[in-house]
Amino acid sequence: MTKASLLALTALSLAAPALANTPPPRPTLEQAADNAGSYDPHAWDFVEGITTEVGQRQAGTEAEVRGRAWAAAWLKAKGFQNIAIEPYMMPTWVPGEPGKAEIVSPFPQSLAVAPLGDTASTGPEGITAEVVMFKSVAELQAAPEGSLKGKIAFVSNAMTRTQDGSQYGFAGPTRWVASGIAASKGAVATVIKSVGTDLHRNPHTGGTDFPEGVKPTPAGALSNPDAANLERMFARAGGRPITMKLVLTPRFLGETESGNVVGEIVGRNPALPPVLLACHLDSWWLGTGAIDDGAGCAIIAAAAKWVSISGQPLRTIRVLFAGAEETGLFGSAAYSKAHINEPIAVGLESDFGADRIWRFDSNFRETNPVLHKKIAAAVARFGVSAGTDPATGGADLNIVRDQKGALVDLQQDGTRYFDLHHTPDDTLDKIDPVQLRQNVAVWTQVVGILANEETAILTGGPVPSAPPVMNGK
């Protein structure tokens, strides 16, 4: 230490008592965002808490009820206002006992399997049938009508990691439609290779659609190593039939109650349309809903908190922790129905994990280039570039799309997302705290700008529908 610096330090120490009597200066929005990036404790506390104290939150079950109560209490402890649980009724599907898929012959062994959402039960005794393999949905579609009568269809897609998640649109149909197509051709059940990019014995579940008039059949996802094993069995069986016993016991419970949780940072002018931040609180039953979507709720709530630390915003910031996203966007639909006549200024959703935000899009780049450029300039220091795609909003922003309102998408890096999506491996340890904080910093910056925007944000007409990655399948 030099003498000069020692003197400087002494001067500072002498000045300290006077400083202690001055309230600390309120951070600017930029400082609040930077602080969030450096040491935000709120987002981690939320996602650690809900995954540890509640765990999985399957839609329509008592676990989702506990999730809502936990989240509402957390918002209260963090100083949010106008906290409410808004219930709605919805048809509920539950997964039953852990699935079993046994190869009976010619190579007896167990494969890891999990039922797909909205599929039927085999009954506890299971279904035993010959397996017919298709390498794609297109191959399955080309199978003659009735050719699968009494058979189990096996559809084995391939999927590659992509930063923007675009391969979900490529590989996803295997889960979304293959069971319905197979059922319509007489199949008694369907198994698919998981729509996922990892190589662990953890199946990726998710929603399935059966076409109008086609009765749901049992259907399950094999983990990727197990699907690869079954592919090799076909290569090594020399034409011998491959027989599988499948036991999947999901149930439809009829209508049960689910609900949304809302809370607000009330603005200086609560009469202005609010900024709506959305995520979903439910998860599939296999994991603890850390990246899908505990992290999203953690990010939006932490950002709202940080904006309030930088000063009361002009507009109210409302957080919407939607229920029952995974099983059919029931929370999103119920929220839109209940609040359709209350205009939203702009909507944003976080539902693609917790990895770094790398691009932002809006649907007002052409109608309000000044605001778009202002956001671009403000987030550049976080490594976020301005995109040219029109923002479409997440699954829980139905209300904004229904109102043809303004949307901002903060695009997260999805390279790892489909390693974990809808699997038992969606647990807290998969979240990188540094990347999570970058999310909170970017959200704080963007939400702070939007919540202090004085004029209405004009958009350029109809909003495109959400892409499959965000549509809750």
Residue numbers at the binding site for its own copies (CB under 8 A): 48-49, 51-56, 63, 66, 98, 103, 106-110, 112, 199-202, 224-225, 228-229, 232-233, 236, 287-288, 423-425, 427-430
Residue closer to its own copies, measured from CB, 114 or 299: 114
Residue closer to its own copies, measured from CB, 197 or 392: 197
User: Nearest CA to 118 among 10, 248, 239?
Assistant: 248
Q: How far is the CB of 75 from its own copies (least distance, A)?
A: 18
Helix locations, 172-275, DSSP H: 173-176, 178-184, 224-236
Query: Sign of dihedral through CA atoms 73, 75, 81, 82?
Result: negative
Q: How far is the CB of 113 from its own copies (least distance, A)?
A: 12
Q: How far is the CB of 461 from its own copies (least distance, A)?
A: 46
Output 141-145 pairs: Cβ under 8 A, ≥24 positions apart: 141/181, 143/185, 144/185, 145/185, 145/186
Element holding 129 (H helix, E strand)? strand 127-134
**Residue 84 φ/ψ, nearest 5 degrees:** -150, 150
Residue closer to its own copies, measured from CB, 48 or 389: 48
Contact, 403 vs 337, CB < 8 A? no
Could you tell me which residues are beta bridge partners of residue 243?
Answer: 105, 130
Q: How far is the CB of 410 from its own copies (least distance, A)?
A: 26
Residue closer to its own copies, measured from CB, 10 or 105: 105
Contact, 134 vs 155, CB < 8 A? yes
Q: How far is the CB of 434 from its own copies (least distance, A)?
A: 17
Please report, as a single letter, which amino acid is at residue 112.
Answer: A
Question: How many whole angstroms separate alpha carbon 56 and alpha carbon 366?
Answer: 42
Q: How far is the CB of 19 from its own copies (least distance, A)?
A: 36
Residue closer to its own copies, measured from CB, 233 or 441: 233
Q: How far is the CB of 237 from its own copies (least distance, A)?
A: 9
Residue closer to its own copies, measured from CB, 72 or 397: 72
Beta strand 81-94 pairing with 127-134: unpaired
Question: How many whole angstroms separate alpha carbon 443 and alpha carbon 299?
Answer: 7
Residue closer to its own copies, measured from CB, 199 or 380: 199
